[in-house]
Amino acid sequence: MRQNIRQGLAAAWPICLGYFPIGLSLGVLAQKGGLAPWQMAVMSILVFAGGSQFIAVAMLGAGASPVAIVSTVFMVNLRHLLMSSALSVHFPNASRRILALFAYGITDESFAVNLTRFNQGGWSQYSALTLNHAANTTWIVSTVIGVYVGQLVPPGAAGVDYALTGMFICLLIYQLRGPIFTITALIAAVGSVLAYLWLPGNAYVIISSCLAATVALILKRTMRERGEQA
């Protein structure tokens, strides 16, 4: 058991190192958006989803309705459905308690590392659990520290207002793993600007992303069928 935990920690450190500055910047933004340290802690403990938390902080700051925030967060995290499904084959005999604990820590990063290690072999469920919770603890601590740091940073200093946009741009680039993903992103961009101009509130995110994914999926399937016939 101790060996498994040590293995998990050894694999977790790059994730923790990556989370720390992102957590700090989320905390700084949250402080600018009016959140107190305890509110940041509650959010990181209950939600633990970097992208969603950035969006939630931005939407809270913009005075979005709770329904819009919750539905956007839900859509943003729907991808974990896929990751959780992919990981499930590696937990054949696990108790529900282990599964419930493990599920809490599934993120893009922990998923990528755990899946790779499971496929390599010699990776136990306890190592995976340790990795998830090491990353999780780092995240919670760094976001709360960020709120305190934020109080020292004047508003608008050194382009901090652009940190969020910068992060989303980089995360978007990570997602463009082929032409169909780029097409999806372009449709979503056009759709969301149009929906933003024509519709009130924050519905533009959900409407345009569902539309873009659906159109791109139809396109992909049509091209595949044509390809098979040719």
Which one of 5-13, 123-131, 146-154, 210-218 is the stretch in contact with other proteins (CB under 8 A)? Answer: 210-218
Smallest separation (angstroms) from other proteins to the CB of 130: 17
Q: Is 162 in the site for other proteins (CB under 8 A)?
A: yes
Total Cβ atoms within 10 A of residue 154? 8
Q: What is the DSSP letter of 154?
A: P
Q: Which secondary-structure segment (H or E) carries 228?
A: helix 203-229
**Among 120-128, 134-142, 145-153, 202-210, which window interacts with other proteins (CB under 8 A)?**
202-210
Q: What residues contact 110, with CB distance under 8 A and at least 6 apart?
A: 15, 131, 132, 135
Q: Is residue 126 close enough to count as binding other proteins by CB under 8 A?
A: no
The binder of other proteins chosen from 112, 151, 179, 193 (CB under 8 A) = 193
Looking at the Cβ atoms of 3 and 67, the one nearer to other proteins is 67
Report 33-92 residues binding other proteins (CB under 8 A): 39, 42-43, 46-49, 51-52, 55-56, 60, 66, 69-70, 73-85, 87-89, 91-92
| Minimum separation from the CB atom of position 147 to other proteins (A) | 14
Which backbone phi and psi does 91 adopt, to 5 degrees? -125, 55
Cβ(81)–Cβ(103) under 8 Å? no
Contact flags string 168-187 toward other proteins, x per CB under 8 A = xxxxxxxxx---xxx-xxxx
C-alpha 40: how far from its chain's center?
16
For the CB of residue 16, give the shortest distance to other proteins in the complex, in Å.
14
Nearest to 123 by CA among 133, 114, 135, 132: 114
Q: Which of 15, 22, 113, 129 binds other proteins (CB under 8 A)?
A: 22
User: CB under 8 A: which stretch of 3-11, 120-128, 139-147, 189-197 binds other proteins?
Assistant: 189-197
Contacting other proteins (CB under 8 A), which of 18, 33, 149, 153? 18
- Taking the C-alpha atoms of residue 101 and residue 98, their distance in angstroms, rounded to an integer, is 5
User: Is residue 85 packed enough to be buried (19+ CB in 10 Å), middle (13-18) or exposed (0-12)?
Assistant: exposed
Is residue 177 packed enough to be buried (19+ CB in 10 Å), middle (13-18) or exposed (0-12)?
exposed
Give the interface segment with other proteins, choosing from 6-14, 100-108, 114-122, 138-146 (CB under 8 A): 100-108
* 118 lies in the binding site for other proteins (CB under 8 A): no
